[in-house]
Amino acid sequence: MATRHTEQKYLKLLQHYGDKPVSVTLQELADVLFCTRHA
């Protein structure tokens, strides 16, 4: 069961990457999540 916070992070990632298939490293994900958290 996803929490609201997790859902918001997922939506931010979806907005960031769109519907393009991408290969993302954990570090890149961490960077994106860190940036969106402080945006």
* Phi, psi of 13, deg, nearest 5: -65, -40
State how many domains the chain has.
1
Domain interval for residue 25: 4-37
Rounded-to-integer distance, Cα 10 and Cα 18, Å: 11
* pLDDT tens digits for range 29-38: 788 777 655 5
Reported confidence tier of residue 4, pLDDT bands at 50, 70, 90: confident
Look at residue 20 and tell me whether its pLDDT is greater than 80.
no
Please give the model's pTM, rounded to 2 decimal places: 0.42
Rounded-to-integer distance, Cα 19 and Cα 32, Å: 16
Give me the residue label for tokens 């979806």. 14
